[in-house]
Amino acid sequence: MTEPDQLRLLAVHAHPDDESSKGAATMAKYVAEGVRVLVATCTGGERGSVLNPAMDRPEVWERMAEIRAAEMDRAREILGVEQEFLGFVDSGLPEGDPLPPLPEGCFALVPLEEAAAPLVELIRRFKPQVMTTYDERGGYPHPDHIKTHEISMYAFEAAADPDRYPDLGEPWQVSKVYYQMGFTLPRTKALHEAVLANGGESPYTEWLATWDPANDISHRVTTRVPCAEYFPVRDAALIAHATQIDPTGRWFSVPLDLQTQTWPTEDYELVRSVVDAPTPEDDLFAGVRTSERVS
Ligand SMILES: [Zn+2]
């Protein structure tokens, strides 16, 4: 499955559509450069709501799992990536006070060692040099996103250890692990101000009003990948997730040229590295490209 000089990127995500809203332009850019990119989707998104009014119909709700798999196929084709489901069941986003218990058998409730096993197998089979995942807060407080973070960090260690999961393939050491840092306060503010300066209506007014600066994690960003050329590909992939994305909604209300001028990168935090990769950097593969390797 792997060639010696081939660069490989593994992006771990919780639900179908997360790959298109977090780091999608980065993936499209690396695909265009000849990198193999594989999206691992932990759950089928079975408990997602229908967030697009045009798709809010009983026949859609009844076939949610099937429809979301078909949407994922389309997004995968648009992004040019490979994609595999890890086979867990969506935990849903619990709402209410007190929060209701999580549904039995859902991803968030699977014990860590068992939940990480399919990802360990995938890492050993695909042999990525670089892996992306979410930060310790999930980037967004959905139990599946937090669980995605947990299994990613666990599998990163375990995949390299010959004593763990000995039946799941030969050990593989991922060289670099990143957290997605797409939704930072400075980026949101910059886009907000750019829209207002252009006489438009900002989709971020409400967000910014309730955003506690103490929750901003932008100081952790180590890596900015220039990828504005691929923002249209990102948007097309997002629209493919028709149940989840309203094409007339907030995602698409900031004109692309304004986004390109204001914030032309997707941003990451480098959290693990076994190669020499000084930060700040602008390439997820800095330090792992064969020509730069010290033998
Ligand atoms: Zn999600």
Alpha helices of 215-271 — where are they, by DSSP H? 231-240, 256-262
Going from the Cα of 18 to the center of ligand 1, the distance in angstroms, rounded, reads: 5
> Is pLDDT above 90 for 268?
yes
Going from the Cα of 116 to the center of ligand 1, the distance in angstroms, rounded, reads: 18
Going from the Cα of 14 to the center of ligand 1, the distance in angstroms, rounded, reads: 5
Going from the Cα of 3 to the center of ligand 1, the distance in angstroms, rounded, reads: 32
CATH 3.40.50.10320 fits 8-184+219-273, yes or no: yes
> Is pLDDT above 60 for 295?
no
Going from the Cα of 163 to the center of ligand 1, the distance in angstroms, rounded, reads: 32
Using DSSP, state whether 268 is helix, strand or coil: strand
Q: Is 15 annotated as a binding residue?
A: yes
> Is pLDDT above 60 for 131?
yes
Going from the Cα of 145 to the center of ligand 1, the distance in angstroms, rounded, reads: 6
- Confidence at 3, pLDDT banded by 50, 70, 90: low
Going from the Cα of 175 to the center of ligand 1, the distance in angstroms, rounded, reads: 25
* 78 contacts 236 by C-beta, under 8 angstroms: yes
199 dihedral zone (left: phi>0; alpha: psi -120 to 50; beta):
left
Going from the Cα of 130 to the center of ligand 1, the distance in angstroms, rounded, reads: 21
> Is pLDDT above 60 for 291?
no
Q: Select from 92, 87, 14, 18 the least CA-distant residue to 48.
A: 92
pLDDT at 140: 77
Could you report the per-residue pLDDT of 37-75, keeping only the tens digit for each?
999 999 999 998 898 999 999 999 999 989 999 999 999
pLDDT at 253: 87
Going from the Cα of 53 to the center of ligand 1, the distance in angstroms, rounded, reads: 19
> Is pLDDT above 80 for 292?
no
Going from the Cα of 15 to the center of ligand 1, the distance in angstroms, rounded, reads: 5
Going from the Cα of 45 to the center of ligand 1, the distance in angstroms, rounded, reads: 8
> Around Cβ 201, how many Cβ atoms within 10 Å?
8
Q: Name the residue ranges covered by the structural domains of the chain.
A: 8-184+219-273
Could you report the per-residue pLDDT of 23-38, keeping only the tens digit for each?
999 999 999 999 999 9
* 34 contacts 62 by C-beta, under 8 angstroms: no
CA 44 to chain CA mean position, Å = 15
Going from the Cα of 147 to the center of ligand 1, the distance in angstroms, rounded, reads: 11
> Is pLDDT above 90 for 214?
no
Q: Quick one: average pLDDT of 130-148?
A: 93
Q: Is 145 annotated as a binding residue?
A: yes
Going from the Cα of 199 to the center of ligand 1, the distance in angstroms, rounded, reads: 32
Structure token digits, residue 216: 């901003």
Alpha helices of the chain — where are they, by DSSP H? 18-21, 24-32, 58-62, 64-79, 112-126, 143-159, 185-197, 205-210, 231-240, 256-262
Could you report the per-residue pLDDT of 224-251, keeping only the tens digit for each?
999 999 999 999 999 999 999 998 887 7
